[in-house]
């Protein structure tokens, strides 16, 4: 069989025999792969195209990236070139590989493996190496011929965004400020029980014009120990909100709160204090109550192991926390009544959430607000096939990942089917920004 390609790095003449007839092209440049723009924010789309290829020939486009932990992530897609010798990921369907169909950003959200990884260093970009390969190949399984390559940078921090460590009056977090003098509308950013200090969503908010304060409350070296428990209480979260409100570059009457997972409970609890007046709330896949009592003002803590009776395991020993947050399993006194809530609340549901009972909690919140004659404050976004970790768009999702090593190794289920989860992240992020625009800028 005569190969589809005879490639040279300089100008090349490519010959092909079809149906016994020799076909000779005119001389043309060597194959080229382009990405535009080559430097962009993580939530910006990019256009990936291959040029100067033989018509109707199989090619593979591969994306590779190193995580902050040094792991190699990879995605690839198979295409057949068009009659004009091009492939355009915005236009052309993938016929195999990490995803199928026309998905312009599929090479980015399809990156695997990404178990337990997160972007820790927001001051540096993800550097994506994209390669154009000969034939339909699986790059990690066998050697392949690279025809062309291009690199692209994906950033959480736009030029001019400022990152400020906060260690003030016991409050631990990172403040991100947009370029310019301000003042800016702002968000308090609360994550889940994974702990530590997760900064990338706040960095991206600041890149879109909002001051954002990512707050640590468990599992951080600068917080009271032990690290596997919540050792801060309501005064801590109120202090964090007020610290953000009082910042000279923040509009004090335009501050919202966003929470994911256990951060949803903290968001609702904080907003229900009569002396805390957020402008809007965004809740992503989390409970309206808890089995974990927060520390009181004196810092006393309770064990966090009380909810283990609701853990469930599959045949591989992977744990799901979903039943922990079923409304019937939440301690009645912890359920937030929302009687003081006066601002709009948007709740985002991943219908394949395997870590929290998001549908049931969204129902509970909606019923609670309806009983308080506040239905007009509630907006629900619900996404079939989306899992627990609905994050900024065009980033990979892990259906399961490592949760803990000590005292035992645990892998937990998050849920989410790759393409459906990616679609949910893209749509929900757009609507999050629209919701913030409506409630924090107008």
Phi–psi pair at 204, nearest 5 degrees: -70, -35
Q: How confident is the model at residue 439 (pLDDT cuts 50, 70, 90)?
A: very high
Please check the confidence at residue 19 and state whether its pLDDT lies above 70. Answer: no
- 138 compared with 45, residue with greater pLDDT: 45
- Please name which of 59, 86, 77 lies closest in space to residue 146, comparing C-alpha atoms: 59
Residues 6+ apart with CB under 8 A from 278: 188, 241, 255, 256, 257, 270, 271, 343
- 353 a catalytic residue: yes
Average pLDDT over residues 127-149: 88
Percent of the chain with pLDDT strictly greater than 90: 64
Distance CA 141, CA 381 (A): 40
Please check the confidence at residue 6 and state whether its pLDDT lies above 70. Answer: no
pLDDT of residue 280: 97
pLDDT of residue 11: 36
Catalytic pick among 43, 189, 307, 353: 353
Q: What is the pLDDT of residues 188-235, one digit of tens each?
A: 999 998 888 999 999 999 999 999 999 999 888 888 877 778 888 889
Q: Which two tokens stand for residue 76?
A: 């690839």
pLDDT of residue 338: 86
Average pLDDT over residues 254-275: 94
Catalytic pick among 388, 398, 421, 428: 388
Report the SS3 class of residue 306. Answer: helix
- For helices 234-246 and 262-271, what crossing angle results, to 10°? 70
CA 256 to chain centre: 19
Residues 6+ apart with CB under 8 A from 103: 89, 94, 109, 110, 419, 422
pTM reported for the whole predicted model:
0.89
Q: What is the DSSP letter of 169?
A: T
Average pLDDT over residues 382-393: 96
Distance CA 434, CA 75 (A): 31
Q: How confident is the model at residue 315 (pLDDT cuts 50, 70, 90)?
A: confident
pLDDT of residue 230: 82
Average pLDDT over residues 271-289: 94
Catalytic pick among 131, 202, 261, 401: 261
pLDDT of residue 2: 40
Least confident of 46-60, 277-291, 327-341: 327-341
Report the SS3 class of residue 361. Answer: helix
4-13, 26-35, 116-125, 189-198 — most confident range: 189-198
- 388 a catalytic residue: yes
Q: How confident is the model at residue 261 (pLDDT cuts 50, 70, 90)?
A: very high
Distance CA 224, CA 206 (A): 29
pLDDT of residue 435: 98
Please check the confidence at residue 10 and state whether its pLDDT lies above 50. Answer: no
Please check the confidence at residue 287 and state whether its pLDDT lies above 70. Answer: yes
Distance CA 351, CA 383 (A): 6
Q: How confident is the model at residue 298 (pLDDT cuts 50, 70, 90)?
A: low
pLDDT of residue 71: 77
pLDDT of residue 296: 65
Please check the confidence at residue 299 and state whether its pLDDT lies above 60. Answer: no
pLDDT of residue 293: 74
Average pLDDT over residues 42-46: 96
Q: How confident is the model at residue 167 (pLDDT cuts 50, 70, 90)?
A: very high
Q: How confident is the model at residue 236 (pLDDT cuts 50, 70, 90)?
A: very high
- Please name which of 398, 394, 399, 438 lies closest in space to residue 118, comparing C-alpha atoms: 398
pLDDT of residue 129: 95
Distances, alpha carbon 440 to alpha carbons 2, 151, 248, 332, 368, in Å:
63, 36, 17, 33, 24
Please check the confidence at residue 423 and state whether its pLDDT lies above 80. Answer: yes
């Amino acid at each position: 069989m005569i190969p589809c390609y005879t490639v040279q790095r300089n100008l090349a003449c490519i010959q092909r025999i079809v149906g016994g007839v020799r076909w000779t092209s005119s001389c043309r440049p060597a194959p080229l792969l382009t990405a535009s723009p080559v430097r962009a924010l993580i939530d910006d789309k990019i256009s990936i195209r291959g040029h100067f290829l033989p018509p109707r020939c199989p090619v593979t486009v591969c994306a590779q990236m190193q995580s902050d932990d040094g792991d190699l992530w990879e995605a690839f897609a198979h295409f057949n070139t068009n009659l004009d010798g091009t492939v355009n990921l915005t236009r052309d369907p993938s016929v195999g590989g990490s995803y199928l169909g026309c998905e312009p950003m599929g090479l980015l959200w399809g990156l695997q493996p990404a178990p337990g990884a997160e972007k820790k260093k927001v001051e540096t970009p993800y550097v994506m190496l994209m390669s154009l390969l000969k034939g339909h190949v699986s790059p990690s399984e066998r050697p392949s011929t690279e025809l062309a390559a291009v690199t692209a940078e994906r950033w959480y921090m736009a030029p001019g965004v400022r990152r400020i460590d906060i260690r003030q009056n016991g409050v631990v977090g990172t403040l991100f400020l947009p370029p310019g003098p301000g003042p800016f509308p702002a968000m308090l950013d609360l994550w889940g029980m994974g702990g530590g200090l997760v900064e990338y969503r706040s960095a991206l908010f600041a890149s879109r014009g909002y001051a954002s304060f990512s707050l640590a409350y468990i599992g951080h070296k600068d917080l009271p120990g032990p690290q596997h428990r919540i050792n801060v209480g309501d005064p801590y979260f109120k202090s964090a909100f007020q610290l953000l409100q009082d910042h000279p570059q923040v509009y004090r009457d335009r501050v919202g709160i966003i929470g994911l997972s256990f951060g949803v409970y903290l968001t609702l609890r904080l907003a229900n204090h009569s002396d805390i007046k957020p402008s809007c709330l965004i809740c992503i896949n989390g409970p309206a109550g808890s089995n974990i009592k927060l520390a009181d003002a004196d810092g006393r803590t309770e064990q966090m192991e009380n909810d283990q009776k609701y853990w469930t395991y599959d045949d591989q020993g992977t744990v799901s926390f979903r039943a922990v947050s079923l409304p019937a399993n939440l301690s009645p006194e912890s359920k937030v009544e929302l009687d003081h809530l006066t601002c709009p609340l948007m709740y985002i549901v991943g219908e394949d959430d395997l870590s929290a009972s998001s549908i049931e909690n969204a129902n509970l919140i909606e019923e609670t607000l309806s009983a308080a004659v506040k239905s007009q404050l509630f907006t629900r976004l619900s996404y079939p096939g989306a899992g627990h970790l609905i994050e900024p768009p065009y980033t990979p999702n892990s259906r399961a990942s490592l949760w803990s090593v000590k005292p035992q190794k645990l892998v937990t289920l998050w849920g989410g089917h790759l393409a459906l989860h990616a679609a949910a992240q893209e749509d929900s992020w757009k609507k999050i920004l629209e919701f913030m625009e409506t409630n924090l800028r107008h």
